Structure 1
Amino acid sequence: MRKFYFAQNNRSISSVLEDEGSVRFLDTTDSLDHLRKQIIVTVNQVLNAKELQEQKKLELENLKKEKEKLLAEHKKTESDLLAQSVAVQTEIIKVDMSVAELNAKLSAVEGKLSALLGESFDTDDIVDAAKFASKKTGVRKSFILGMLVVETNLGRYTGGCTYKESKMGDANKKIFKRICKDLDYNYKKKKVSCPLSYGIGGAMGVAQFMPTTWTGYESKIEKYTGHSPADPWSLTDGVMAMAIKLKNDGAGKKSGEFDAARRYYCGGNIGRRVCVDYGKKVLYWAENYKARL
């Protein structure tokens, strides 16, 4: 029976395989199955591409929002900076106006002080006199100008008192009268420095020499300037007297300027605090005198 069954089934299978229509049917079925698989793969690719496209679109939207946010922040910052700049410019204008107003008031005050404190000199003439004295003595021009700033504010305040008001001693009075007589000045009206709270006045001209000190330099001043008699109220003679004294006290070299300045103010005892402070002020203005021109 088994042999008969297998024999019959084998003939059935063989007959199907040998049948041309059956073969074409099987071929078509395989093709459809392959096509179905390709369609599924293609659909999956399309779906993946669409998903990727949606993802990129979302990223672009986020980037657009971030850009808009940054632009808004930039505009706000730019606006804030512009407002700050305007505010600063406004403040600068206000400060400039205040400084100009203060300078005008200061000029008016200085004008009144000059009238009270004696003859003043043009700053260009001061610089020329310092150049001339420097050339003759070897003392630095800027150091001489630093001295003049401290002594008389570059010749602006040379003295506003008479010899009696100055409280100068008898020896200075005697020589003062002789100097005025030689120069044909009225000693009663000629102005000298006023007395300080801690001492006497009586210093003459831009260099602020006391009469007794001046006599020791007259001949050297006359030699350098050609003016005879030497005049302590002359800008050229006064600055020359200052330069000669500074040179004698060691200011021919820069290293000796500090001590020379202190001796100019204090004489021999230059270690006192007031003398040291004076010397420091002179050295400062020697480098910054142009601020006073």
Structure 2
Amino acid sequence: MKEDKTETRVNLKSSFYFLIIIFAFAFFLFSSHSGFAQISPQDEKSVLEKELAELESKIVQYEKDITITQQQKNTLQNQVSVMKKKIGQLDLQIKKSNLVIQDLGVQIEDTEGSIDKTTLKIEDSKRKLASVLRTLHEEDQRGLVEVLLVEPKLSYFFDNLMTLEALNQRNQEFLNDIKKLKSDLEGQKITLDSEKDDLERVTKLQTLQKQESLQSQKQQEVLLEQTKGKESEYQRILQDAKKRATEIRARIFQLAGVADVQAPTFEQALEVANWAAGVTGIRPAFLLAVLQQESAIGKNVGQCYLKNTVTGAGVSIKTGLVTSRVMSPSRDVQPFLQITKELGRDSFNTQVSCPMSYGWGGAMGPAQFIPSTWIAYRSRVAGVTGSAADPWKIKDSFLAAAFYLGDYGATKQTSSGEWRAAMIYFSGSTSPKYSFYGDSVLRIAKGFEEDIKTIQNSLGFLPK
């Protein structure tokens, strides 16, 4: 019994040590894994930027592949279209040939009928001619005594004989004419038969050409469908790559740590501008130039509050004095109330721009969107960020401005396209009286472009 207890203690002790070893090993594995999994935001940002650069390179290649595939598709579509026209032309030629063949058949039948009738006429003429010849022969065989006894006068005999001779002559001429007609008809029939045979051979050849063309068309249509399928696959891959790139840009932006409630530094603003420009396809320097012109890149988002929803009047934040034309009551007040309510903001204590010497104020946030325009763009912003669009947030305002500018020509990344986009952003038109704004934006953008190059060179990398 004592031995059993001793053995039991030994087994328990061994088990206890074994469990300690297992727990220690598990803890080591867990600690090692946790240490491996942890990565600093800056390192994650660098990894994501590298992945984004690779994705953007692939996106460019996919777009090239799609362009080539679309060209191949267009070529095949043109070939199919040409082939269909050729087949249609052959169909018309075959129909025309068949109609001519039918007409020739009718003509041949008519000619054969005419030949048959002419043959009957020839036989009838031969019979009549034979009868006249027999009568002449009989008259020639009559003697003078018989003629004198039968005919009242001798002159009757000679008149009758002359009549028979004339009849014989006419019958001979008629017979010759009929024979000539028959010969002509037979020659015409031979010609018609030859034409019909030739046309039937041509029609058979056209039918074979049509069959070959149809076969070629089917092959081209199969290639066209395969090309369309290839294009669809490229499009799917491209969309997946763009979706992943958008996700990475959003994550990079989150890692940038730009505050939503205060004006960003230029480096932070550049980070956001690069992100927004990557989503929309416009130049970061141009976007920053517009925002510099509008709000000094978030430093001046307005110095007025709306107070009267009927008249659109408000107050100056600095002086507290009543200010008229803070917001257009017919165009912007209701959208503004809707926006602030949905975002949980106080409609009457939210900063908006004061009016200039003309027009209305009421522009919101760093991008200075008027409420009615923001309503038109907020769903596009939310579609990228995944949250409700807020015109007072740096990220949302930058992206909305980039979308707007891109819609009006900034994606061309040309001076004329950007000037037009800036002008419309400011006044809704390209009126020469506001050209100072577009000119100023392009000058600022040129300076920012140099600043960005300096930053890039100092950091040793190109922001995505």
TM-score above 0.5: yes
Asked if 1 retains the 8 angstrom alpha-carbon contact of 2:280 and 2:402, the reply is yes
Residue 122 (1) aligns with residue 271 (2): no
Structure-2 residue corresponding to 1:203: 363
Distance in 2, Cα, partners of 1:236 & 1:280: 26
**May I ask how many residue pairs the two structures share in their alignment?**
173
What are the equivalent positions in structure 2 for 1:79-228 lying under 5 Å apart? 120-164=263-307, 165=314, 167-170=326-329, 171-227=331-387
Whichever residue aligns with residue 187 of structure 1, its letter is S
Deviation at 1:291, TM superposition (A): 6.8
Asked if 2 retains the 8 angstrom alpha-carbon contact of 1:126 and 1:155, the reply is no
Whichever residue aligns with residue 407 of structure 2, its letter is N
Of 412, 418, 421 in structure 2, the residue corresponding to residue 257 of structure 1 is: 418
Deviation at 1:130, TM superposition (A): 0.6
Asked if 2 retains the 8 angstrom alpha-carbon contact of 1:203 and 1:210, the reply is yes
Distance in 2, Cα, partners of 1:163 & 1:123: 30
Distance in 2, Cα, partners of 1:219 & 1:178: 14
Distance in 1, Cα, partners of 2:263 & 2:303: 11
Distance in 2, Cα, partners of 1:154 & 1:213: 19
What are the equivalent positions in structure 2 for 1:46-85 lying under 5 Å apart? none
Give 3-state SS (helix, strand or coil) of 2:339's partner.
helix
Deviation at 1:131, TM superposition (A): 0.8
Moved over 6 A (4+): 290-293
Deviations 1:184-234 (A, max 9, x none): 11111100011111121100000000000000001111112222x200000
Percent identity for Structure 1 against Structure 2: 36
Whichever residue aligns with residue 140 of structure 1, its letter is R
Whichever residue aligns with residue 184 of structure 1, its letter is G
Asked if 1 retains the 8 angstrom alpha-carbon contact of 2:332 and 2:370, the reply is yes
Distance in 2, Cα, partners of 1:198 & 1:119: 29
Distance in 1, Cα, partners of 2:385 & 2:265: 19
Whichever residue aligns with residue 393 of structure 2, its letter is S
Deviations 1:167-198 (A, max 9, x none): 21223111111101111111111000111111
Deviations 1:128-149 (A, max 9, x none): 1111100100100111011111
Deviation at 1:288, TM superposition (A): 1.0
Give 3-state SS (helix, strand or coil) of 1:126's partner.
helix
Alignment RMSD:
2.0
Structure-1 residue corresponding to 2:153: none
| Structure 1 unaligned spans of 5+ | 1-117
Whichever residue aligns with residue 300 of structure 2, its letter is Y
Asked if 2 retains the 8 angstrom alpha-carbon contact of 1:129 and 1:239, the reply is yes
Residue 232 (1) aligns with residue 407 (2): no
| Structure 2 unaligned spans of 5+ | 1-260, 308-313, 315-324, 456-464
Whichever residue aligns with residue 419 of structure 2, its letter is F
TM-score w.r.t. structure 1 length?
0.56
Deviation at 1:120, TM superposition (A): 3.1
TM-score w.r.t. structure 2 length?
0.36
Give 3-state SS (helix, strand or coil) of 1:216's partner.
helix
Whichever residue aligns with residue 150 of structure 1, its letter is Q
Instruction: Identify the range of structure 1 (118-127 vs 237-246) with the bigger mean alpha-carbon deviation.
Output: 118-127
Whichever residue aligns with residue 175 of structure 1, its letter is P
Distance in 2, Cα, partners of 1:210 & 1:119: 20
Residue 285 (1) aligns with residue 444 (2): yes
Asked if 1 retains the 8 angstrom alpha-carbon contact of 2:304 and 2:326, the reply is no
Distance in 2, Cα, partners of 1:139 & 1:124: 18
Structure 1 residues 119 and 177, CA gap change in structure 2 (3 angstroms):
farther
Whichever residue aligns with residue 173 of structure 1, its letter is V
Deviations 1:217-257 (A, max 9, x none): 01111112222x20000000000000000010010012211
Distance in 1, Cα, partners of 2:399 & 2:381: 6
Deviation at 1:119, TM superposition (A): 5.2
Instruction: Identify the range of structure 1 (153-162 vs 134-143) with the bigger mean alpha-carbon deviation.
Output: 153-162
Q: Which has the higher contact order (CA 8 A, sep 6+)?
A: 1
Distance in 2, Cα, partners of 1:220 & 1:129: 17
Give 3-state SS (helix, strand or coil) of 1:162's partner.
strand
Distance in 1, Cα, partners of 2:271 & 2:332: 30
Distance in 2, Cα, partners of 1:150 & 1:252: 19
Asked if 2 retains the 8 angstrom alpha-carbon contact of 1:205 and 1:233, the reply is yes
Distance in 2, Cα, partners of 1:155 & 1:226: 22
Structure-1 residue corresponding to 2:101: none
Of 418, 422, 428 in structure 2, the residue corresponding to residue 267 of structure 1 is: 428
Distance in 2, Cα, partners of 1:119 & 1:160: 15
Whichever residue aligns with residue 340 of structure 2, its letter is C
Distance in 2, Cα, partners of 1:200 & 1:259: 22
Structure-2 residue corresponding to 1:246: 405
Instruction: Identify the range of structure 1 (145-154 vs 210-219) with the bigger mean alpha-carbon deviation.
Output: 145-154
Structure-2 residue corresponding to 1:32: none
